[in-house]
Chains A and B, each alone.
Chain A
Amino acid sequence: MTGLRPDKRATAGIVMVPEGRRLFPSLTLEDNLKVGSTFARKGPWTINRVYELFPWMRERRGQRTAQMSGGEQQSVAIGRALVANPRMLLLDELSLGLAPVIVQRIYATLPQVLESGITVLLVEQDVSQALRVATHLQCLLEGHVTLEGTPAEVTREQVEAAYFGATDGSSHGLG
């Protein structure tokens, strides 16, 4: 998979929602979704179904995405990825630059995504949100896995410790 060209990876079923959204600013909301569906696989997700997931989109579908708020853009980005009917959805830093309320709202839509059979790989700095939705988690530090488990098994303190590079809960100096 790592050797594949990005577009081939997408058509193979792994679709990424990149950090920073990366929508097409001069295109309308619906056009953004249509681009996402151009090389889509067969599956349950259609543009209409995305409108059901995010009802506010239907009214605003003719609006250019450049004029939308961060949270709205994030939703459109997810929608664009969904209409491709991926087998696996990569979400990169969903919460970046968004207010906590908005982040919660977006996370609230994730269960429906999971229900449709898509595996979601979430890269997230907002640990609490991530813990709330994840079925399995891994903490990475400089390319190595420092902690692994399910949300039920690990505590927040353990995650924090793993995040900052300490092991077994005790502190060590760097070096």
Chain B
Amino acid sequence: MAWVNAIIQGILIGGLYALFACGLSLMFGVMKVVNLAHGDLAVMAGYIGVGVIAVSHMPVLWSIPVVVVLMAIIGYILQRSIIQGAISRGELTTLIVTFGLSIIIENALQQFFTANSRGLGVGDSFITASFSIGSQITIAWLYVVIFVLAVVVLLGLSLYLARSRYGRLIRAVADDQEAAQLAGANYRHVFGIAAAIAFGTVAVAGMFEGMITTISPTLGTDTILLFAFASVVIGGLGSLWGTLLGGVILGVAQAVGAQINPSWEQLAGYAVFLLVLVIRPQGLVGQGATT
């Protein structure tokens, strides 16, 4: 029953994809910024994790909050400085600036960490531990844990946006920046918070990626950014649960593709992405981004 195993695996990895995607979706929804550096941020977080662990020798799981906080701060600063500057100069400039950031981050990582891939390590027993359902289905614990954690983060984010003061402000600013200002909100600050959240969530995802497999400097643009984007498009913009659905569908498509032919894994995912793009560009759940 290799197929069932594959599909379950695909669903589980979909949670991680959705976690990658939610930051991209948030920044686009709130600031209308397509952050081309998004994938590289995940990798950057992973490498920061490598550094933190190397310096402090703390266990991987403890290092995650540290990395998240660091990345959130970096996100706020970058947003209020460079990205805000780009936003006020137009969409073209924003794309160029985020693209520039992507290239800079990637090459800086390559310069300091070499092009080799690194793993974050979770302890051997944890990585290989798995449980079985029946005699044919085996699921790795790590994947389950990461899926659950990803869903927890998404849930937390969803609740935050729905109930909290700043969550409401973020939604308000996303709806109508000027009206929010009239209500007393400093929209630049709100943008900063949104960016911090985006950077924070992608940092968690990056750390998880480093735990599941390995990270390398080019991973951000080779796959992560594209997977995140594909998840958002398939699921639809504007809904975190849509993004989760998108991630899961992408994961399953990849798993199925890999079953047919190992080298078709990514292609299968992109095929589904293109299909959705052509047939239902607004995504399965949300609104879209067509002219």
* Contact A38-B185, Cβ < 8 Å, known A25-B175, A26-B171, A27-B172: yes
On chain A, the residues within 8 Å of B81 by CB distance are none
For B168, list chain A residues within 8 Å (CB).
27, 31, 34-35, 38
Answer whether residue A6 sits at the interface, using C-beta atoms and an 8 A cutoff: yes
Contact of A7 among B171, B174, B176, B181 (CB under 8 A): B181
Verify if A50 is at the interface (C-beta below 8 Å from B): no
Give Cα A24 to B179, complex, Å: 8
B175 and A84 form a contact (CB under 8 A): no
B57 CB–A CB distance under 8 Å: no
Known: A7-B187, A24-B175, A24-B176. A35 touches B169 (CB 8 A): yes
Does A10 contact B175, Cβ atoms closer than 8 Å?
A: no
Shortest C-beta distance, A55 to chain B (Å), equals 23
Given A22-B176, A25-B175, A27-B175, A10-B169 contact (CB < 8 Å): no
> 0/1 per residue, A31-45, Cβ < 8 Å to B?
110111011100000
Contact A38 B169 (CB under 8 A): yes
Which stretch, A11-19, A101-109, A120-128, A156-164, touches the partner chain B? A11-19
Contacts of B169 in A (CB 8 A): 35, 38
Nearest CB in chain B: distance from A123 CB, A: 15
Say whether, besides A26-B175, A27-B168, A27-B171, A35 and B183 are in contact (CB < 8 Å). yes
Q: Is A23 an interface residue (CB 8 A)?
A: yes
CB of A99 to closest CB in B, whole Å: 24
Q: Evaluate contact between A22 and B182: CB separation under 8 angstroms.
A: yes
B183 adjacent to A84 (CB under 8 Å): yes
Contact residues in A for B89 (Cβ distance below 8 Å) = none
**Total count of chain B residues near the partner, CB < 8 A:** 18
How many angstroms from the CA of A36 to the CA of B181 in the assembled complex? 10
Give B80 Cβ to nearest chain A Cβ, in Å: 15
Q: Which residues of B contact A38 (CB under 8 A)?
A: 165, 168-169, 183-185
- Which residue of chain B has the shortest Cβ distance to A66 in the bound complex? B175
Q: How many residues of A contact B (CB 8 A)?
A: 25
Say whether B186 faces chain A, with CB atoms less than 8 Å apart: yes
With A27-B171, A35-B169 as contacts: A11 and B179 at CB distance below 8 Å: no
Within the complex, the shortest CB–CB distance from B237 to chain A, in Å, comes to 12
B180 at interface, CB cutoff 8 A: yes
In the complex, the answer to whether A22 meets B186 with C-beta atoms within 8 Å is no
Q: Does B178 contact A (CB under 8 A)?
A: yes
Instruction: Give chain A residues whose Cβ lies under 8 Å from the Cβ of B182.
Output: 6-7, 10, 15-16, 18, 22
A11 to B169: give the CA distance in the assembly, Å: 15
Given known A-B contacts A6-B178, A22-B178, A36 and B183 have beta carbons under 8 A apart: yes
Q: How far does the Cβ of A85 sit from chain B's closest Cβ, in whole Å?
A: 11
Can you name the residue of chain B whose Cβ is closest to the Cβ of A36? B183
CB distance from B24 to the nearest CB of A (A): 19
Q: What's the Cα separation between A23 and B178 when bound, in Å?
A: 10
In the complex, the answer to whether A22 meets B172 with C-beta atoms within 8 Å is: no
Counting chain B CB atoms within 10 Å of each CB, the highest count among A6, A25, A26, A36 belongs to: A6
Bound-complex Cα distance A69 to B175 (A): 18
Out of A10, A31, A40, A84, name the residue touching B181 (CB < 8 Å). Answer: A10
CA distance A84 to B180 in the complex (A): 12
**With the chains together, A160 CA to B174 CA distance in Å?**
42
* Residue of A7, A31, A34 most packed against chain B (CB within 10 A): A7
A15 to B176 CA separation, bound complex (whole angstroms):
16
Residues A39 and B171 in contact in the complex (CB < 8 Å), given A22-B176, A24-B176 = no
Can you report 10 residue pairs joining A to B where beta carbons are below 8 Å apart? A7-B186, A22-B179, A24-B175, A24-B176, A24-B179, A25-B175, A26-B171, A27-B168, A31-B172, A39-B185
Question: Which 3 A-B residue pairs are closest in the complex by CB-CB distance?
Answer: A39-B184, A10-B184, A22-B179
A residues contacting B by CB (< 8 A) are 5-7, 10-11, 15-16, 18, 22-27, 31-32, 34-36, 38-40, 80-81, 84
